[in-house]
Structure 1
Amino acid sequence: MGSEQGRDMTGTIGRTAVVIGAGPAGLMAADVLSQAGIAVTVADRMPSVGRKFLMAGKSGLNLTKAEGAAQFRDAFGTASPALTQALADFGPAEVIAWAQSLDQPVFTGSTGRVFPVAMKASPLLRAWLARLASAGVTFNTRWTWTGWLDGALTFDTPNGTQRAAPDITILAVGGGSWRRLGSDGAWTSLLDDVAPFAPANCAFRVAWSTFMAPSLGQPVKATRLSAGALTSRGEWVLTREGIEGGGIYEVSSAIRDGAALTVDLMPDLSRDQITARITARGTKATIGQLLKSALRLPPVKVALFQEMTRAARLSVSPATLPHLLKALPIVHAGPAALDSAISTAGGLRFSALDGLMIRGRPGTFAAGEMLDWEAPTGGYLLTACLATGRAAALAALAHHQGGLQTR
């Protein structure tokens, strides 16, 4: 769906808007604006729209998380008031209602995560694009935003340089990860007051010894990860490059910022209970025998314990074993590459905005992952993108339309 030439917005009669970026935030902004009767053009540098959205849905599209407002808000840390208000106005309940309005029934899993029954993103995206098309939204694909010239937006397109002078501009150009899906961060050179990007919800590199080869690719279950003030009971995976997975992502921001990572390999037993099992096995047992027989650790946990105690050069004895099992240090070499992160921290600082309007650029609003916020996976990321896209559109309407109400 889309057009490489599309609508030339310069000189268009009536209220017009250009939304730059066809991810969830941009599409939500286009939805709100078009339903208010605005002539909307969506410009995106990729050949098709919603590429990162579709990738997110390959393993099950996690739309949001069904939990209390305060708990949901806390996942965003010290969020800006603009982000907090956007989430208050369009939180988990509203995301569910939005999906259902596109004829996509949802279900809530045991952890509170909400998914479409179809699990994939493609049915929802198709229904959404059909609604946008019926509202007259035009899509200009392969249009790369290059900045402003004499107050007009400029784009590099297959048909040469194009200009647009809309009444409303919504920037939803994404973060700095998954370049091949469209989020290359090149826009940062076009705006002031941008915090450098950093990986979020990311993997960490580990220089495994050859001893670990049989364990790589294996999930690590029933642990408690700790880094700074963050903890996680989620599952994670040992990969050739290091460690990744939901459990790691939940504590990744603290690790990235310098907190030590430790893992409790036996979170359902106290240190005293572990000590009692070791003592009952007798004094002649080796550490390996204690791990495998007395404590019945699965092979992947035994291998991880042995690898990390060697890497950290720790002395292991029956006396130190309980402490190490409850707080095993994970020796790593830092975050994996920024481009491989699920999301990014950093971006356009909220101090550069009045609400969601860019200071010095009247009529230009920003939304989505390009803003300087971060959150763990689990539905928070997508909800915030949708919420800020909607909030930016509503702020633009209030600014330009004199209180024009959405239908």
Structure 2
Amino acid sequence: MKDALSAVFGFLAILFFGSVFGVFFGKSSPTPNATRSDSSFAHDKDSIASSRIEKSTDDGQSEDVQEATSQINKAANQIFLQRTEQFVSQLATWKSEANAIPNTKEELARLKSEVAVHESKQPTPPVHTVREWSTIDEKYKATASLVETDNVKVTLEKVDGKQITVSKAVLIAEDRVYIDKAISLLSAYSAAHSEWQLERDEALVKISETEARILLGEGPAPVPPNRSEVVAELIAAEEKRELAAKFAEEKREMAAMFAEEQRRKREKLAEAKLKSVSRVRRQYAANAYTTILRIFDPEKVLIASVDAQDKKLILTVTNAWHFQPYQIRLQTAQSLWQGWANLSNPDEARISLVDFQGNAVGGSRIWGGSQIWVQDK
């Protein structure tokens, strides 16, 4: 027993002076408890409203409401004046067209008659008759009609409907003259048709404009503007703008809330990761503590087991512990704490001495890890 106690006290002395183990196993510096206040995104409508109340005027309206009303009235007057000018112009045009309806209808009938005559004068494309075609060497001959040509290649359609393409240069002189004449006729037709199409389009535009004038003259008279409607439109537009601004503000608040939530999640994740790392470090320190303890007390004379729980080291003492004098137990417990503090973090190091039944028989006090107590009996 005496040899075992000497071995244990030797172990405790090594732990007491062995702060080097703390460096080797990496002490974790104390993490200050940072406090922060959560950002609040809820709006207190009553407080906001009360802070914005302006001094009331004689007619009972607040200054901001009066200013808004003045701006709406000013804008309404401008819009009403513009619409009135437009109405006067539209009314004059309507009266003019209404009085001119008989003449306008006569003009429409004349234009339609001219278009009908113009339609009958539409140019017709040149028609190519079936004729004999031959190459200069007379090796190839065909009975066909001209389909198209670019003055280099010639496309012919035979009587059986089959089309062939040959070079103009290989054809006899008579065929080449025919092709030149066909090109000239086609060019003249294209020019005439373009001119005819342009005149027809212009006439159709005039007909459309004339019909629109008749519809205007036969339609209802323009309605004069209503200032009350203008004011209602402006109020509706302002309400729509305010609604859009409110929606944008709510969207920004939601984005801020989401960002805050993500930040909190990242903080929790980092905190959990830090706790995990700290837990692993403490476990390494506890394993080292146990290993050294067992070197000097392999028979477990005083300490039966060591268990690391969070930041506290649970030491289960043997029955021999209870037979030691109070002062010896106190000094031994203090040395046990010092050894654990050297291997972990002195500010967080705590020990608890329990018997085989789990009853506390000593350890660190609540207000400080180094404040060690043991049972006095």
TM-score range, shorter chain: under 0.3
TM-score by length of 1: 0.18
The higher radius of gyration belongs to 2
If the length of structure 2 is used for normalisation, what is the TM-score? 0.19
